[in-house]
Amino acid sequence: MPLLRQRLGKVLGGAIQASDYELHCGAIKECHSRSPIAQCLQRELEQRFIRTIRQCSRLKTTQALAKWWAQASQEHEVAAALWATLTHARCDALLQEQVLQDIHMLQHQLGSANRADLQKLSAVMDENGVLARELAQVQARSTRLLQERSQWIEKQAAELLRLRALLVGKDTLIESLQAEIQALHASAPGLKSRQELALQLRQQSAQIAELEQRLHKTEQQWLDERQRKVKPAPPPPSACPQPAPSSSQAPSPGLDAEQPQQAVLCVGGRQAAIPIYRQLIERIGGRFLHHDGGEEDAAAKLDASLAAADWVICQTGCISHDAYWRVKEHCKRLGKRCLFVDKPSRSSLQRALSGLRPKIQDQDPLRRTVDRE
């Protein structure tokens, strides 16, 4: 439309104030006769599609032209093929009617494709919003961790400065004490020899005390030996029977084997969020199982995963229809508990698991202690 407005303004010699619809209808009306506007549009289209027109001019029969149109209408350059076919000399009324019918149906197909693209775009925008919120949460957490890390580094730097100052003070004290010791040695030349003599005296006193203890022990042994020679030795005491081991000392029987954890199967969900699902399920004491709901894993594997699961969580927005009905029919037939989650997000799964947590922990007698985040 901007190009049409520019071309018609050039032909008419001024700016056009009409709306796009009025401009479109006026241009079509002018093309009913050989007018300056029709000639301008003819030249514009001939120049724009000159390559396709030259390619189509090699066709000499109507049948060849119809065959070429059937093939060209399936490609991207439909506008060029339409103009080249309708302006060809071998285009009769029957072929013209067929070309217009094909273009009419193509418009319907393009409208349907456009609506489907808009629906996909809306779904992608919704998912983008979910991912953006999760990314904002992760970024906020990263910022908080960086701030905590910076505060810890500042504290460590302050502690390092304090320790360095303390070390410098100790080095200064050591140097001053060494200077005092040197001054004492200088004031008392025989101090070192007197200290060595005092050390030797303490060592000799310790040796004398040890010898006195050994002498006293030897005298006591000699007196005991002399008394035994004078008096008869008393009869040896009768052997006392050893007491039988009490029943309380018997080895305790072994503990029972640990029962297996409850298996929780998560069907569907985004591939990037699988570690988050695993973390949430393992935090409540469950064993994590996963099936993508028929996107990449074979549908036959779903039956095996359902048979091995004790609890089922179904991400209804991220699985195929066949997988949804398989999960629903299996859980209904075997009486397994199945939780349906609409949105594939961490918060939705946490809300679904809030009711599942006590049931799994009641059936697991050796459940693990879960640390709070």
- Give me the helix-helix angle, 191-230 and 93-187, nearest 10°: 90
Domain ranges in the chain are 2-99, 195-226, 262-362
Q: Tens digit of pLDDT per residue, the chain (373 long)?
A: 888 888 888 888 777 778 888 888 988 888 888 888 888 888 888 888 888 888 888 888 888 888 988 888 887 778 888 888 888 888 888 988 988 888 888 888 777 777 777 788 888 888 999 999 999 999 999 999 999 999 999 999 999 999 999 999 999 999 989 888 888 778 777 666 777 878 888 888 888 888 888 888 887 888 778 777 765 555 554 433 444 433 333 333 332 334 456 888 888 877 777 888 888 888 887 888 888 777 665 666 788 888 888 888 888 777 888 888 888 888 888 888 888 887 777 777 777 777 665 554 454 433 343 333 3
Buried b (16+ CB within 10 A) or exposed e, 107-134: eeeeeeeeeeeeeeeeeeeeeeebeeeb
Distance CA 99, CA 112 (A): 20
Residue with tokens 């006769």: 33
CATH classification of 262-362 is 3.40.50.720, yes or no? yes
Alpha-carbon distances, residue 54 vs 42, 81, 85, 92 (angstroms) = 16, 11, 11, 19
Distance CA 241, CA 350 (A): 68
Tokens of 117: 């693209």
Q: What is the pTM of this model?
A: 0.30
- Helix and strand element counts for the chain (H, E): 12, 4
Torsion of CA 196, 202, 206, 208, to 10 degrees: 90
